[in-house]
Structure 1
Amino acid sequence: MTNIHRIADIVDGYVVQPEETFSLNDVVGKRDKARGFVEAPMILNNRFVNDIGGGVSQFATTMFNAVFFGGFQDVQHRAHQYYITRYPAGRESTVSYPQPDFHWRNDSPYGVLIKTSYTATSVTVQFWSTKRYDIESQSSERYNVKSVPTLTDSGAECIPMDGAEGFAIDVWRIFKQNGKVVRKQRFHTVYDPEPRLTCKK
C-alpha cells in the first residue's frame, strides 16, 4: 500500500501533451528507499520475492484501464506472468524498473491531466481531457486452460504460492462515436499456470 500511494503521489498532476508518449518508469524513476518505497512481493523468475517497490503494478493496471477506457493508444504493456484475481483478466499491466515499462501515447489533439487519489483499500487514476469516444470492453471465454503444478521449496526467502490455472483470453476494446462502432482492437493475453508452492522449514 505504501508503494502504491508513493507512485500515485509522484504521477499526480502530470500533463501528457498531444502526441506525447508517457513512460511510467521515466516519470517515476527507480523505486528506492530514499524516495519512500519499501519492500513488497513481486514476481521474479517464476516465484514471488520481496523487492523494493513491489506492488506498484496495481497502479500500472489502474492507469492501463484509464488508457483503455479513455481511448488512448497503448504503446507497450505486459500482463503479469500469472493471473491475479484482483485484476480484470486480459486488461492489466505489470511494471518493474527498468523493464517492463508501461508506455501509452496521447494520440488526441488535447492535453491530458492525470489526477490520482487513494484510500486504504483503493487507488484511482483519472484523466481530465476532451472525450473522443465511448469505449466498451468485451472478453472471450478463457481457453487453452492449463492445470496448476505443485512444488515444494525451503529457505528463509521462500514465499508460499496459492496456485492458479493458466489460460488464454481475448479482450476487445470497442470504440464508439454517436452510438456507432468506429473501431475494434483485440488484446490477446496468455497467463502461465501459477505453481502451488509449499515452503518447508
Structure 2
Amino acid sequence: MGRRAEKEKNVKTKKVNIKVILLAIVAVVAIFSAVSYYTYKKNYEEMVNTVEINTIYTGVKVSGIDLSGKTEAEAVEVLREQLQKPLESQRLDITDVDRRYQYTFADFGAHYNIEGAAKKAFECGRSGDLKSRYKEVLGYAENGIDIEPEYSYDTEKVTTVLNELKAEFDVPAQNSQLTKSGGQFVATDEKAGYELDVEKTAEKLKEQLKSRQAGEFTAETKELLPTITKEQNMMATTLIGSYSTSFTNGPGSEGRNENLRIACASVNGTLLAPGEVFSMNATLGPQTYENGYKDAGVYVNGKVEQGVGGGVCQVTTTLYNAVINAELDIVERSNHSLTVAYVPMGMDAAIAGDYKDLKFKNSTDYPVYLEAYITTNKIITNVYGYEIHDSGHSVKYETVYNGSVPKPAEKITYDPNLPEGERVVTYAGKVGHKVSTYKVVYENGNEVSRTLFNNSTYRATADEVTVGTKKATATTDTAAATQ
C-alpha cells in the first residue's frame, strides 16, 4: 500500500513539474515575443518617422548648397537666390586692343535647371521599400550627397550678341583716295581695317560659358585689306578715254543746264576699284526738286514734255562714250526711245526710273577715276586709269543704218467746232530707225578687228491730227421789200 501510494505521488509530482516547465517556457516565449514586437514596432515607427517627411532629407545638397529640411518649393527659391542669380550676374568681358565690351552670363541665357535640381533633391530616398529607403536616408545623413544641377546656355543668343557686337566692333579698311586739283593727282595713304571673326570668337565664348566662371577673353578678328592702295592710284592717272558733247545756253535752257551741272558734279571724282561696277542711277540718286533738279525736256510716250531732271541723259551719254573709248566693259545700256541731237544714232545711253540704267565695270587691274564737268557750252567726261595698250592702239565706233520703222497709223481726234473736213496736224510723228554699232580696233593705223558692239532701235511715233465735223450752215437770200 505504501509503495504504491508513493509511486502515484511521484507521478503526480512529475506531472506538476512538466506543467510548470511548460508554463515557464510559454511565459518566456510570450515575454520574448512582446519584447520583440515592441522593438520591431519601435524600429518601424522610427523608420517611418525618418523617411515619411515632406522635406528634403538631411545631408542632401545641390552644387554644395545644403537643402536639408527644405520643401521642394523652398529649395527652388534657395537655389534661385544662391545659385542662379550669382551665375547670371557673373561678368564675361570681350576685349580688343583698346576696347572692352561688358556682358554677363545672363546675356547669353546661362542658367541652371533649378526646378529639376530641387525635384531630384526631394526625390532622394523616396523609392524602394521602407527598409532600403531608411538605410539610404541614414547614409545621406552620415555621408551626404551633392547633386550637380543641369546647366545650359543659349547658343542662339551667343550668335545674336556677337552679330550685334560686330556692327560696332568692325573697323572698315580705308582705301587710298584719289583727287585731282589744278591738273595734278593727289593720293592719300590706305589703311587696313579689321572685323570680328564671329565663328572663332563664338568658340572662345562658349568655352568660357561652359566653365561657368567669370572672366574675359580677347576677341578673334580678321584683317580687312583695302582694295585700292596709294601705289595703285598713282599708277592709274593716265587719260584712257574721253568724250564731249555740246549744249545751248539760250533762253529757257537754265533749268536743263543746272541739271547738267548737278549730274556732272555727282559723277566727278568717282573712283572705281578693279572689278567694281558703276551705276549711273545709283550715282545720281533720285532726280527730285529736293536734290536740286529743275524741270526740263524729257521723253514721255514718244513726245518731249517738261519733267524734273531733264538733261541728265546727255551727261549719261557723254560718260558712256568716254567709257567705251576707254574700252571698259559695258554691263547695261539702253538707247533713248527717240533719237537725240547731241550724238549719232547708236551712241546714246538713257536712264529712266528703275528700268533703264547705264552700268559699266572697271575691267582693268587698276583703279579708274572718272572726271565730269561743264564749260560754257560743253560737257566734258574723262576716264583715267592704267594704260595697257601700246601707243599705236586706237578704237572708234561706226554706226550702220539698218532701215527705218514706219510711222503708225495717225491718231485722229474729231472736233465739232472745226469745219467739216478740215485737218489740223497737232503733232508731227517721226519715222523710227534701226542701227547697228560696230567697234573697230586699229593698231598703228591698220584695222585689226571689227565687231558688233550693239543694236539700237528708235521708235516711230504717229501723227496726231484733229479733224473737223462741224456742218456748214445753209443761208437763204431774202429780197428786201420796199414800200
TM class by smaller structure: 0.7 to 0.9
Structure 1 runs, 4 residues or longer, greater than 3 Å off: 147-153, 160-164, 175-180, 194-199
Residue 146 of structure 1: which of 406, 409, 425 is its match? 406
TM-score (norm 2): 0.37
Residue 135 of structure 1: which of 371, 385, 395 is its match? 395
Q: Which has the higher contact order (CA 8 A, sep 6+)?
A: 1
| 1:162-181 correspondence to structure 2 within 5 Å | 163-176=429-442, 181=448
Return the alpha-carbon distance in structure 2 between the equivalents of residues 38 and 176 of structure 1.
42
Residue 76 of structure 1: which of 324, 332, 350 is its match? 332
Return the alpha-carbon distance in structure 1 between the equivalents of residues 412 and 375 of structure 2.
36
Deviates more, 1:183-192 or 1:24-33: 183-192
Name the Cα RMSD after superposition: 2.5
Return the alpha-carbon distance in structure 1 between the equivalents of residues 258 and 343 of structure 2.
19
Return the alpha-carbon distance in structure 1 between the equivalents of residues 340 and 427 of structure 2.
12
Aligned position for 2:244: none
Aligned position for 1:120: 376
Aligned position for 1:51: 307
Q: How has the CA–CA distance of structure 1 residues 197 and 72 changed in structure 2, closer, same or farther, with 3 Å as cutoff?
A: farther
One-letter code aligned to 1:125:
T
Say if 1:148 and 1:164, in contact at 8 Å, map to a contact too.
no
Greater strand share, 1 or 2?
1
Greater helix share, 1 or 2?
2
Say if 2:404 and 2:431, in contact at 8 Å, map to a contact too.
no
Return the alpha-carbon distance in structure 2 between the equivalents of residues 44 and 36 of structure 1.
21
SS at match of 1:9: helix
One-letter code aligned to 2:387:
K
Unaligned runs of 5+ in 1: 154-159
Aligned position for 2:290: 34
How much does 1:17 deviate? 1.3
Q: Which has the larger radius of gyration?
A: 2
Say if 1:74 and 1:103, in contact at 8 Å, map to a contact too.
yes
Aligned position for 1:187: 454
SS at match of 1:108: coil
Q: How has the CA–CA distance of structure 1 residues 51 and 185 changed in structure 2, closer, same or farther, with 3 Å as cutoff?
A: same
Say if 1:71 and 1:132, in contact at 8 Å, map to a contact too.
no
Deviates more, 1:2-11 or 1:117-126: 117-126
Unaligned runs of 5+ in 2: 1-256, 414-425, 467-483
How much does 1:26 deviate? 1.0
Deviations 1:27-76 (A, max 9, x none): 12111112211111211233323221111100010011011111111111
Say if 1:11 and 1:27, in contact at 8 Å, map to a contact too.
yes
SS at match of 2:318: helix
How much does 1:120 deviate? 3.3
SS at match of 1:137: strand
Return the alpha-carbon distance in structure 2 between the equivalents of residues 90 and 142 of structure 1.
11
Aligned position for 1:96: 352
Aligned position for 1:14: 270
How much does 1:24 deviate? 0.7
One-letter code aligned to 2:435:
I
Aligned position for 2:365: 109
Return the alpha-carbon distance in structure 2 between the equivalents of residues 162 and 71 of structure 1.
39
How much does 1:190 deviate? 0.9
SS at match of 1:93: coil
One-letter code aligned to 2:283:
V
Say if 1:82 and 1:194, in contact at 8 Å, map to a contact too.
no
Deviates more, 1:13-22 or 1:80-89: 80-89
TM-score (norm 1): 0.84
SS at match of 2:290: helix
Deviates more, 1:168-177 or 1:49-58: 168-177
Say if 2:397 and 2:439, in contact at 8 Å, map to a contact too.
yes
One-letter code aligned to 2:336:
H
Say if 2:281 and 2:357, in contact at 8 Å, map to a contact too.
yes
